[in-house]
Structure 1
Amino acid sequence: MNLKRMHHVAIIGSNYERSKAFYVNVLGCKIIEETYRKERDSYKLDLEVAPGYQIELFSFPNPPQRPSRPEACGLRHLAFAVESVENSKRELEQQGIDVEPIRVDELTGKKFTFFADPDGLPLELYEEKEGE
């Protein structure tokens, strides 16, 4: 097997319009394609995070809750690389998003912080300077 890279992350939102607004308007993801699947009463929204990286946002009627804290088994969080954690944190807070205090990764010395999507999915901002 020769894995090339991560292609996409799939997320199921409890409220499609709220999640769509968050990922598009707050995080700035670009809509690639939006599909309504009548037989499932479900949307599938393909979003570009950056060239070559996508989020698939799904809606389903009455999806079950998934535990995420404290340290539940399974997907722990989704991390986004940003040039400046301070600037990104400030931008999110200006839009009313609660963001945790900035911390420094003791192994890499890089700054990072966490916030959550509308369904409480933990999202991380991880500082990665140009060329790293």
Structure 2
Amino acid sequence: MLQLTAVHHIAIIVSDYEISKRFYTETLGFSVLGEHYRAERKSYKLDLALNGQYLIELFSFPTPPVRPSRPEAVGLRHLAFSVSDLDAAINHLNQQGIQTEPVRTDEHTGRRFTFFADPDGLPLELYEGAVV
């Protein structure tokens, strides 16, 4: 059996690099570990961390195709982030002009969660409580 130890990172291709960079750093609070322009690809690669842990790579490309997400398509469904106070997190997003879906409760854990979207419509989830 393959012995995986952790998720190393998640790669996201964005349509507008500067807008997504601001969203992930200023709105969601990720810190920049590294930013690289790859001239041969006319592409940026932005390495982002959350609480010091490398987690996301943002990529820009000149003309990436749009990926359908609604109705839900085969592939990655969404990214979920833990928060200790869901109401405060929702309030922060709403103050930034980001709409969130109505809060739901996970029928298996009893924990509350909501969804919102990044600038490209990628579904993101906020899940209240520690990682289970």
Alignment of 1:1-132 (within 5 A): 1-129=2-130
Paired AA for residue 70 in structure 1:
P
Shift of 1:53: 4.0
> Could you tell me which amino acid in structure 2 is paired with residue 85 of structure 1?
L
Structure 1 spans left out of the alignment, 5+ residues: none
- Alpha-carbon distance in structure 2 between the residues aligned to 1:70 and 1:47: 29
| Code of the aligned partner of 1:89 | I
Matched positions, count: 131
Unaligned 5+ segments in structure 2 are none
CA distance in 1, matches of 2:63, 2:77: 22
Tell me whether 111-120 or 66-75 shows the greater mean CA deviation. 66-75
TM-score of the aligned structures, taking structure 1 as reference length: 0.95
Cα deviation for residue 38 of structure 1 reads: 0.6
For residues 17-61 of structure 1, the C-alpha deviation after alignment (integer angstroms, 9 at most, x for no partner) is: 000000001001000000000111000000002333410000000
Amino acid at match of 1:48: A
Query: Per the alignment, do residues 102 and 18 of structure 1 end up closer, same or farther by CA in structure 2, a change over 3 Å counting?
Result: same
Distance of 2:102 and 2:94 partners within structure 1: 11
User: Do 2:47 and 2:54's aligned partners in 1 also have CA atoms closer than 8 Å?
Assistant: no
- The answer to which of 105-114 and 43-52 deviates more is 43-52
Residue 123 (structure 1) shift: 0.2
Rounded Cα–Cα distance in structure 1 between residues aligned with 2:54 and 2:39: 27
Q: TM-score, normalised by structure 2?
A: 0.95
Give percent identity, aligned residues only: 60
- The residue type equivalent to 1:79 in the other structure is A
Structure 2 Cα separation of the partners of residues 22 and 75 of structure 1: 20
